[in-house]
Structure 1
Amino acid sequence: MSHLDKQKIVDSVPQKGFFGHPKGLFTLFFTEFWERFSYYGMRAILVFYMYYEVSKGGLGLPENTALAIMSIYGSLVYMSGIIGGWLADRLFGTSKAVFYGGVLIMLGHIVLAIPGSVPMFFVSMVLIVLGTGLLKPNVSSVVGDLYSETDNRRDAGFSIFYMGINLGGFLSPFIVGTVGTEVDFHLGFALAAIGMFIGLITFLLTRSKNLGLAGQFPSNPLNDAEKKRTGLLFSIAAIIIALFVGTGLYYGYLTFDVFVGIIGILGFLIPTVYFVVMYRSPKTTPTEKSRVLAYIPLFIASVMFWAIQEQGSTILANYADKRTQLSFAGIELSPAWFQSMNPLFIIMLAPVFAWLWVKLGARQPSIPKKFSIGLLFAGLSFLVMLFPAYLSGGSGLVNPLWLVLSYFIVVLGELCLSPVGLSATTKLAPAAFSAQTMSLWFLSNAAGQAINAQVVQYYSIENEIMYFGIIGGSAIALGILLYLFTPFIRKFMQGVD
């Protein structure tokens, strides 16, 4: 897509109409609000559904296995974004990808809402993984299409969009989480399906008027010869994967631990391949090649950040269920409610950060410095958990405010890194790989959770001080290193800041 083409898309979008931002931001804000309502509502009860006893409506899986599956699932959700980005870039555009993804997500939640078995659980996971891979990276890519490259509203626009994501994430644990844990897990999953349905209706009714040409066409469409070759390659790959899985299951080679290891390898192998492909592509200009190199340390920092942040739905969720006083100030707390802490603080603080970046203007920290600050806060959010572990002597229930404090600190880091990372991705992406680069950004989350699938199995009450200390300290060390290398990284960003 040329610069002129991008400008034509921007010109086709009503540029005022949603808090001083393009009108299309309304459509994307509420589409993603309902998608996140369904996703985070499901996620708030999913780990409990897996390890609660069958007599309590759960699947009765071992606790450590449930935590690892949760991380694998999260990794695959974001890993599938690379497929969704490719399909949008090469076949049908980001707008259709968003719609198709929403349909698959809704179907996945419907399957979860039907009382079934472990096989049905995995069927639902496949649908949600594929659907999120289509929707998640592409809806963010469409947000980038609403603004010109020089529009100083871009970072603020992504912060507002990010607030919509977290508004859905805040409400759903209270609604879906409470119904799921207190009434019936499957009824909670049904509410998640209804949320995605509302999001689809919102998108269909407003996209033609608000989005203009944004997301309507693939940025790097396949020609006829490429379509035939790609179809053949996909067919061969599907056969090979089917044979590998079938043979592995039949002979017992494909164990759970082996699968976790494969996901861990893919979490880093896939982004490495994509960096090489983008850098070596003849469609990538010299300036874009330089920006791709600058993107690599930002990607690594993001992996470390998400490895900590995503443990809010695994280790900290389990901590809320097993280690936290759930009777507080005369209120009986649900462990699912703690999943609302992260989006609650983002809702409160996202407007503040959006205002801050606009207020600072040219004086605001550069993108690498924002990332380094985000890593420092992520590390601190784990180090603060050393105190309740020490004070309780590694046993007994702890005050829930410690968990609240940990979620609050990591949100400070998230607002320095995540919306800024979305914006930076749209700026640094080669034009021919726009949606795929957004998928690459979400692969940093996939890689972080692939690491977690290995790491969370080593967590226990007995070693929680070492667990939180090592991971938190590593994030702080990487944040300091990134800060020191900021001048070097900025040289490769070629005018993007």
Structure 2
Amino acid sequence: MVRRQTDSVWILTDIDLHTVVKNSGGRSTFFGHPRGLFLLSFVEMWERFSFYGMRALLVVYMTASVLPDASGHVHGFSILTLFVSTSDPVRSSSLLYGFYSGLVYLTPIFGGLLADRILGKRVTIILGGILIAAGHMLLTVKPWFLLALLLIVVGTGGLKGNIAAQVGDLYALDDSRRERGFSIYYLAINIGAAVSPLVCMVLVQHWGWEIAFDATTVGMFIGLVTYMLGSYALPAANSVGIEKTVEAKSSSKNSFFILFFIAVSAIFLWVSYEQQANALVRWTSVSSNDIGMAWLQAIPPLIVLVGTPILTHLWSKQARHGNEPDALKKLLIGACIITAAQSFLVVIAGVLPATAPASWIMALYLMVWEIGDLFFCPAALGLFSRLAPRGFEGLTMALWYVTFFFGNLASGWIGTLWGTFSPVTYWLMIASCTALGVLGITMLRKSSFLMRNSLLLS
């Protein structure tokens, strides 16, 4: 690789790839990162407050308040009955929630295309935020409940992937701060995810459904207004690093290869993650309606809140000495830690074959798992933004969120096997999935052509 500086432009040459990267050294920073990172993180924190607050209430709200008398009272309900059996409110609310949560991870593809090819990221994000807020306002208007869910699904598609793409726009292509920036962004997501369920559950208990859903609407409005007031200060897409002149077709193929392997590996890891709200809950519950262990679900966000500042400080210190792990090494470390956590469950299931494990054992498992995620997820986000083809940044980031969709599908199917096998066999199957994720990242690191394009991972 040859590197030379001409005025404010870095010209980076590597065998078959010529990339022009504008120097961002003069850009205003805050805690060593572009100020726009903190604007986008604040907006995403409130969007996630809105999303996770509603998510925590949705199934119970549908079961208790919407579905029992939905026939003839909810517009479009007769169409829904063609796809979902509505004779049992508990079962139908679960199936409807499954449709909703799956579509939330699919619609960012269309939002990414809309932003990349027609409207631009800023307009698409604002429109998405307006639709989400409108959907939350309509949730407690029962005749329009299904329309409310549709508005939230479509709005999330316009907002989710494009905000992440704008985070990537803040950094030059070879800026090693990119992955650390996504760690800060990931921290903001988890602040919203940790606080909103607690707030909304308290509001439901003391003031009812309407006030609780009003809180999620207010959260979305705060994020939307903040973005509209501050987005003018964000750089235009690719203004810090983004002119690419590709002289050989192989470079785009290389990027596709890298993203494909990361995506497939991530799907195997998400199979493990989704078990935390599925088989793990069943394993630790003493009865079918026991929610005594539900507090364990607060551990992962707490680990993110505590661990992100520690890791970003460590990586910044390593970067100053030139030995910060590259993005793929962070992916591999994270996947290995997650596999170790899953293997721990196999051991526990073997030691305690007939009893539910103690809460401290599950807490330890969740802590270790989330530490692995702190290495894996921000690094993956950074790579997806770094390797996004010119003009398809929003779509590329949307494809990252599609991995959650397929992970949910696979995890749900595997979850139906709980009880068919012994806990040891079941958790060994899940641990094998995470091991396949490790194998995928390892193969990626060993790829010879990837080494020839190491600029993309610096």
Return the TM-score normalized by structure 1. Answer: 0.73
1:347 to 305, 321, 327: 305
Question: 2:438 maps to which residue?
Answer: 479
Superposition pairs for residues 212-251 of structure 1, below 5 Å?
A: 212-214=235-237
Offset of residue 437 of structure 1: 0.9
Match status 1:375 vs 2:325? no
In structure 2, the residue matched to 1:252 is none
**Alpha-carbon distance change, 476 to 488 in structure 1, aligned in 2, over 3 angstroms:** same
Q: Which moved more, 1:318-327 or 1:43-52?
A: 318-327
Paired residue type of 2:298: S
- Name the counterpart of 2:389: 430
Residue 100 of structure 2 is aligned to residue 73 of structure 1:
yes
Q: Indicate how the Cα distance of structure 1 residues 166 and 24 shifts in structure 2: closer, same or farther if over 3 A, else same.
A: same
Q: Aligned-pair distance for 1:96?
A: 1.4
Q: How far has the Cα of 1:90 moved from its partner?
A: 0.5
Alignment pair present for 1:125 and 2:144: no
2:119 pairs with 1:92: yes
Distance 1:309 1:334, change over 3 A: closer
Q: Distance in 1 between matches of 2:257 and 2:210?
A: 46
Which residue type is aligned with residue 136 of structure 1?
K
Whichever residue aligns with residue 424 of structure 1, its letter is L
Task: Please say if residues 109 and 395 of structure 2, whose CA atoms lie closer than 8 Å, have aligned partners that are also in contact.
Answer: yes
- Contact 2:284–2:357, Cα closer than 8 Å, also in 1: no
Question: Where does residue 255 of structure 2 map in the other structure?
Answer: 291
Q: Which moved more, 1:463-472 or 1:384-393?
A: 384-393
Distance in 2, matches of 1:151 and 1:423, equals 10
Who is 2:168 aligned against?
144
Aligned to 2:135: 108
1:61–1:55 Cα change, 3 Å: closer
Q: Out of 54-63 and 41-50, give the one that drifted further.
A: 54-63
Q: Given the superposition, is the C-alpha separation of residues 201 and 42 from structure 1 closer, same or farther in structure 2, using an over 3 Å criterion? A: same
* Bigger shift: residues 461-470 or 28-37: 461-470
Residues 111/175 of structure 1: CA separation in 2 closer, same or farther (3 Å cut): same
Residue number among 162, 175, 179 corresponding to 2:203 in the alignment: 179
Matched residues in 2 for 1:112 and 1:321: separation? 31
Offset at 1:183? 6.0
CA gap 1:407/1:182 in 2 versus in 1, 3 angstroms = farther
- Go from structure 1 to structure 2 and tell me whether the alpha carbon gap of 1:67 and 1:326 turns closer, same or farther (over 3 Å shift): closer
Q: Tell whether the 8 Å contact from 1:324 to 1:399 is kept in structure 2 after alignment.
A: no
Report the counterpart of residue 457 of structure 1 in structure 2: 416
Partner SS, residue 496 of structure 1 = helix
Any idea what SS the aligned residue of 2:392 has?
helix
The one-letter code sitting in structure 2 at the alignment partner of 1:374 is: G
1:206 aligns with 2:268: no
| Equivalent in the alignment of 1:419 | 378
Offset, 1:295: 1.9
Q: CA deviation at 1:457?
A: 3.2
In structure 1, C-alpha distance between the alignment counterparts of 2:140 and 2:354, rounded to whole Å: 37
The aligned runs of 1:352-367 (5 Å cut-off) are: 352-361=310-319, 362-367=322-327
Asked if structure 2 preserves the Cα contact closer than 8 Å seen for 1:80 and 1:133, the reply is yes
Which residue of structure 2 aligns with residue 404 of structure 1? Answer: 363
Contact 1:77–1:133 (8 Å) recurs in 2: yes
Cα offsets for 1:358-406 (capped at 9, x unmatched): 33334344433332332233334444445665666556x6543333223
The worse-fitting range, judged by mean Cα deviation, of 57-66 and 191-200 is: 57-66
Deviates most, 157-166 or 459-468: 459-468
Q: Could you tell me which amino acid in structure 1 is paired with residue 309 of structure 2?
A: P
Distance 2:278 2:60 in 1: 10
Pick which of 470-479 and 156-165 moved more.
470-479
| One-letter amino acid of the structure 1 residue matched with residue 138 of structure 2 | V
When residues 443 and 409 of structure 1 are mapped into structure 2, their CA distance, relative to the original with a 3 A threshold, is same
Would you say the 8 A contact 1:100–1:134 is kept in 2?
A: yes
Separation (CA, whole Å) in 2 of partners of 1:360 and 1:293: 29
Distance across 2 between alignment mates of 1:109 and 1:468: 38
Cα distance in 1 for partners of 2:37, 2:357 equals 42
Offset of residue 287 of structure 1: 1.7
Residue ranges of structure 1 left out of the alignment (5+ in a row): 221-281, 328-332
The Cα of 1:420 is off from its aligned counterpart by: 0.5
SS in 2 for 1:419: helix
Could you tell me which residue of structure 1 aligns to residue 267 of structure 2?
303
Q: 1:299 to 1:188 in 2, by over 3 A?
A: same
Aligned residues: 420
**Greater fraction of residues in helix:** 1
Cα 1:162–1:363, aligned 2, differ >3 Å: closer, same or farther? same
SS of equivalent to 2:456: coil
| 1:153 has 2:177 as partner | yes
Q: Give 1:472 deviation, angstroms.
A: 2.0
> Which residue of the partner structure matches residue 243 of structure 1?
none
Alignment of 1:31-42 (within 5 A): 31-42=43-54
Q: 1:61 to 1:172 in 2, by over 3 A?
A: farther
Q: Secondary structure at the match of 2:28?
A: coil
Q: 2:318 & 2:115 partners in 1: Cα distance?
A: 35
1:349 positional shift: 0.7
Is the aligned partner of 1:447 residue 2:411?
Answer: no
Cα distance change, pair 64–386 in 1 and its aligned pair in 2 (3 A)? farther
**Aligned mates of 2:360, 2:342 — CA distance in 1:** 14
Change in 2 beyond 3 A, CA 1:453/1:49: farther
Percent identity, aligned pairs only, is: 29
CA shift digits 1:41-72 (9 cap, x unpaired): 12223344456698999999566665555444
Is the contact between residue 315 and residue 456 of structure 1 (CA under 8 Å) also seen in structure 2?
Answer: yes
Unpaired segments of 5 or more residues in structure 2? 1-8, 12-18, 71-85
For residues 288 and 450 of structure 1, the distance between their equivalents in structure 2, rounded to whole angstroms, comes to: 29
TM-score, length of structure 2 as denominator length: 0.78
